[in-house]
Amino acid sequence: MLEDLPRAATVSLAQLIAEIGPLLDRCENPEQVAAICGAAPVTRASGTTRTVGFRYAANKPARVAITGFADNSRHSSAWAAERYSQARARGARHPHAVRILARGWLRVIWACWHTDIAYHPSRHRAEQLATHPT
């Protein structure tokens, strides 16, 4: 169902399914999966101070799988390239921009996994808008 993900070669796809598949089955929403994979930031708040930072406590093999895929996808997906360049324009360094993109891809993968509908760029509305802006 995920074979048509951009630049998801056999090894990358196998790694995604092996590392993220079990998380997709046991988590209630894509944000939980993103947090476990380290694609979501961690917020620390105390009194009036609030900081947002890198999530060190994460499933590292899952983080490697999703960020590797996300980084490769931006070279063949207009939506991914646009999302990455927007993050960079806001001042995110490359690793942070890739994690932002990975979080977006996790939402797409979550939808495919739970609806049992294969990914195809023609069904990905954000991909259509990035390819053919109005």
Q: Is the pTM of this model over 0.75?
A: yes
Main-chain dihedrals φ then ψ at residue 53, nearest 5 degrees: -145, -175
Residue partners of 76: CB distance under 8 A and separation at least 6: 6, 7
Give pLDDT tens digits for 80-115.
999 999 999 999 999 999 999 999 999 999 999 999
User: For residues 125 and 109, what is the distance between their CA atoms, to the nearest angstrom?
Assistant: 14
